[in-house]
Structure 1
Amino acid sequence: MVNLLLTLSTRHRRWVFWALAALTLALASQLPRITIDTDPENMLPVDHPQRAFHNQAKETFSMHDMIVVGVVSENSIYDPATLTALHSVARFSAGLDGVIAADLMSLADVDNISQAEPGTIRFEWMMKTPPETVSEALAIRDQVADLPLLYNTIVADSDQAAAIYVPIKDKNESYRLAEQIRGHINSLDSADDWHITGLPVAEDQFGYEMFVQMGISAPLAGLVIFILLYMFFRNVPFILAAMIVAMATVVITMGLLIGLGFTVHIMSSMIAIFLMPIAVVDSVHILSEFADRHKPGDDVKNTLADVMRHLFQPMLFTSVTSAVGFLSLLLTPIPPVQIFGAFVGFGILLAFVITVIFVPAYISALKPATLARLSKVEAAQGGRFARTIQGLGKRSGRYAKFWVAAFIAISAISVVGIQQININDNPIRWFKEGHEIRVADKVLNKHFAGTYDAYLVLQSKADSQQLLVNAMDKQLSNAALTTKTRNWLAEQRDALLGDMAAGEFIWNLEDKLYEVKGAEAEALSELMQSAEQLGSNSKTFTSPAILAYMDGLQDYLLTTGLVGKSNSLADVVKTVNRELGSGAPEDYAIPASAQGVAQVLMQYQSSHRPQDLWHFVTPDYQQSLIWLQLTSGDNQHMTAVTAAVDTYLDTHPLPAGLELNWAGKAYLNVVWQEAMVEGMLASLISAFVVVFVMMVVLFRSLVFGVLAMLPLTLTISFIYGLIGWIGKDYDMPIAVLSSLTLGLSVDFAIHFIERARATQAETKDWQSTLSILFDEPARAISRNAIVIAVGFTPLLFAPLVPYITVGVFLASIMAISALVTLIMLPAVMTLARRLIFKTEN
Structure 2
Amino acid sequence: MRIVANFILRFQLPLLLIAGLTGAFFLRYIPGTEMSEDVSTWFNDNDSVLIEYRDFQDTFNESQFLMVAYEWNPPFSGSELSYLSLLTDSLAKLPHIRDALSLTTVENISGTDYGLEIGALFDDDLPVTEVISNIRRHPFVYGNLISRDFHSVAIMLILEQNDDDTRSLSEFNQEVDTNLRNLLLAETARTGRQFHLGGELINNAAIEIMMERDIRLFFPLSMVISAVFLWLIFRNIFAILSPLLTVFLALVWVIGLKGYCESPITPVSTTLFALITIIGIANSVHLISQFRLEYAQRPDRKAAVLAGLTKAGTPCFFTSLTTAIGFGSLVTSSIPGIADLGIFAAIGIMSSYLLSIILIPAGLLRFPPPKPDSVTKQSNLTHTLLNKIADLNERYPLWVSAIFGIIVIVMALGIPRIRIEGSIIEYLKTGTRLYQDTQFLDRHLSGVSSTEIIIEGIPDCFKNPDLLTEIEAFQQEIAAHPRVSVSYSVTDYLKMIYRALNSDEDAYYRIPETRDAVAQCLLMYEISGGTEIEKYISNDYSMARISIITKQMNDQESNRLFALIDDFSDNHFTEYRVRKTGFDYLVNQLTRRIIATQITSLRTASAIILLLMLIIFGLRLGLLSLLPNVFPVVFILGLMGWAGFRLNMATAIIASVAIGIVVDDTIHFFTHFKYEYRKTGDIHRAMRAALTGVGRALIFASLILMTGFLIFILSDTRILMDFGILASIAIFTALLGDLFVGPVLLSSIDVLRKRFKK
TM-score range, shorter chain: over 0.9
**Cα pair 1:76 1:161 within 8 Å, conserved:** no
**Cα pair 1:296 1:372 within 8 Å, conserved:** no
Q: 1:669 to 1:592 in 2, by over 3 A?
A: same
- Note the alpha carbon deviations across 1:512-543, whole angstroms, 9 max, x for none: xxxxxxxxxxxxxxxxxxxxxxxxxx301111
**Cα pair 2:66 2:197 within 8 Å, conserved:** yes
> Could you tell me which residue of structure 1 aligns to residue 276 of structure 2?
275
1:151-162 alignment, distance < 5 Å: 151-162=142-153
**Cα pair 2:393 2:400 within 8 Å, conserved:** yes
Moved more, 421-430 or 330-339: 421-430
Shift of 1:318: 1.5
Q: Which amino acid aligns with 2:212?
A: F
**Cα pair 1:108 1:126 within 8 Å, conserved:** yes
**Cα pair 2:26 2:253 within 8 Å, conserved:** yes
**Cα pair 1:69 1:163 within 8 Å, conserved:** yes
Moved more, 790-799 or 321-330: 790-799
> Could you tell me which residue of structure 2 aligns to residue 16 of structure 1?
15
Moved more, 225-234 or 303-312: 303-312
Output the CA distance in 1 between the equivalents of 2:557 and 2:359. Answer: 52
Alignment partner of 1:710 out of 611, 624, 627 = 627
Q: Which amino acid aligns with 1:767?
A: H
> Could you tell me which residue of structure 2 aligns to residue 790 of structure 1?
707
Could you say what secondary structure the match of 1:660 adopts? Answer: strand
Matched, 1:628 2:548: yes
Matched, 1:699 2:698: no
Output the CA distance in 1 between the equivalents of 2:375 and 2:691. Answer: 15
Q: Which amino acid aligns with 2:118?
A: F
Matched, 1:46 2:45: yes
Shift of 1:191: 4.6
1:718-729 alignment, distance < 5 Å: 718-729=635-646
Matched, 1:644 2:564: yes
1:68-83 alignment, distance < 5 Å: 68-73=67-72, 75-83=73-81
**Cα pair 1:109 1:127 within 8 Å, conserved:** no
Q: Which amino acid aligns with 1:745?
A: V
> Could you tell me which residue of structure 2 aligns to residue 760 of structure 1?
677
Could you say what secondary structure the match of 1:262 adopts? Answer: coil
**Cα pair 2:446 2:550 within 8 Å, conserved:** yes
Shift of 1:136: 5.1
Matched, 1:575 2:496: yes
**Cα pair 2:597 2:653 within 8 Å, conserved:** no
Q: Which amino acid aligns with 2:425?
A: I
> Could you tell me which residue of structure 2 aligns to residue 393 of structure 1?
390
> Could you tell me which residue of structure 2 aligns to residue 527 of structure 1?
none
Matched, 1:688 2:606: yes
Stretches of structure 2 lacking an aligned partner (at least 5 in a row): 162-168
Larger Rg, first or second structure (1 or 2): 1
Could you say what secondary structure the match of 2:646 adopts? Answer: coil
> Could you tell me which residue of structure 2 aligns to residue 232 of structure 1?
233
Shift of 1:759: 1.0
Matched, 1:455 2:452: yes
> Could you tell me which residue of structure 1 aligns to residue 661 of structure 2?
744
1:142-291 alignment, distance < 5 Å: 142-169=133-160, 172=170, 173-188=172-187, 189-291=190-292
- Note the alpha carbon deviations across 1:105-148, whole angstroms, 9 max, x for none: 2112212222224x7222222257xx5x9x75554333211212
1:396-411 alignment, distance < 5 Å: 396-411=393-408
Q: Which amino acid aligns with 1:599?
A: Q
Shift of 1:785: 0.5
Alignment partner of 1:96 out of 94, 118, 125 = 94
Q: Which amino acid aligns with 1:53?
A: E
Shift of 1:592: 0.9
**Cα pair 1:202 1:427 within 8 Å, conserved:** no
Matched, 1:310 2:311: yes
Output the CA distance in 2 between the equivalents of 1:72 and 1:108. Answer: 16
> Could you tell me which residue of structure 1 aligns to residue 116 of structure 2?
121
Q: 1:61 to 1:635 in 2, by over 3 A?
A: farther
Could you say what secondary structure the match of 2:319 adopts? Answer: helix
Shift of 1:269: 2.1
Alignment partner of 1:141 out of 132, 136, 156 = 132
**Cα pair 1:233 1:377 within 8 Å, conserved:** no
Output the CA distance in 2 between the equivalents of 1:584 and 1:137. Answer: 20
**Cα pair 2:301 2:369 within 8 Å, conserved:** no
Could you say what secondary structure the match of 1:559 adopts? Answer: coil
1:28-43 alignment, distance < 5 Å: 28-43=27-42
Q: Which amino acid aligns with 1:565?
A: V
Q: Which amino acid aligns with 1:116?
A: T
> Could you tell me which residue of structure 1 aligns to residue 430 of structure 2?
433
Could you say what secondary structure the match of 1:193 adopts? Answer: coil
Could you say what secondary structure the match of 2:138 adopts? Answer: coil
**Cα pair 1:76 1:159 within 8 Å, conserved:** no
What TM-score comes out, normalization by structure 1 length?
0.85
Could you say what secondary structure the match of 2:577 adopts? Answer: strand
> Could you tell me which residue of structure 1 aligns to residue 523 of structure 2?
602
Output the CA distance in 1 between the equivalents of 2:142 and 2:753. Answer: 74
1:538-557 alignment, distance < 5 Å: 538-557=459-478
Shift of 1:834: 4.3
> Could you tell me which residue of structure 2 aligns to residue 112 of structure 1?
108
**Cα pair 1:331 1:338 within 8 Å, conserved:** yes
**Cα pair 1:45 1:335 within 8 Å, conserved:** yes
Q: 1:426 to 1:28 in 2, by over 3 A?
A: farther
> Could you tell me which residue of structure 1 aligns to residue 362 of structure 2?
361
Q: 1:836 to 1:692 in 2, by over 3 A?
A: farther
Output the CA distance in 1 between the equivalents of 2:556 and 2:158. Answer: 27
- Note the alpha carbon deviations across 1:461-500, whole angstroms, 9 max, x for none: x4xxxxxxxxxxxxxxxxxxxxxxxxxxxxxxxxxxxxxx
> Could you say what the CA RMSD is over the residues aligned between the two structures, in angstroms?
2.2
Could you say what secondary structure the match of 2:689 adopts? Answer: helix
Output the CA distance in 2 between the equivalents of 1:390 and 1:79. Answer: 79
Output the CA distance in 2 between the equivalents of 1:87 and 1:711. Answer: 67
> Could you tell me which residue of structure 2 aligns to residue 379 of structure 1?
376
Could you say what secondary structure the match of 1:372 adopts? Answer: coil
> Could you tell me which residue of structure 1 aligns to residue 164 of structure 2?
none
Matched, 1:816 2:737: no
> Could you tell me which residue of structure 2 aligns to residue 666 of structure 1?
584
Q: Which amino acid aligns with 1:332?
A: S
> Could you tell me which residue of structure 1 aligns to residue 593 of structure 2?
675
Could you say what secondary structure the match of 2:101 adopts? Answer: coil
Q: 1:209 to 1:136 in 2, by over 3 A?
A: farther
Shift of 1:838: 7.0
Matched, 1:616 2:536: yes
Stretches of structure 1 lacking an aligned partner (at least 5 in a row): 463-537
